[in-house]
Structure 1
């Protein structure tokens, strides 16, 4: 659900490169953490 909220936020920001890369890294990081928790 949070990812959908982030996508809506990006649309409001008109895809500013800095925010896009920052949020992209945050999403990628959280996905890695979730996968790590699932594995362990």
Structure 2
């Protein structure tokens, strides 16, 4: 039974892997937005 459970976990990890990849490109976009926000604050002060 332990083998079957480990196989199920490996399959789930494989499915979640590709789902997390498309989310990674979104992080740089957020970083740019934060940089723009910081620049706006600096200009205001």
CA RMSD of aligned residues (A): 1.3
Structure 2, gaps ≥5 residues long: 1-20
Gaps spanning 5+ residues in structure 1: where?
1-15
Structure of greater Rg = 2
Question: Which of the two has greater helix per residue?
Answer: 2
Q: Give the number of aligned pairs.
A: 25
How does the TM-score come out when normalised to structure 1? 0.53
Q: TM-score, normalised by structure 2?
A: 0.48
Segments ≥4 residues shifted beyond 4 Å:
none
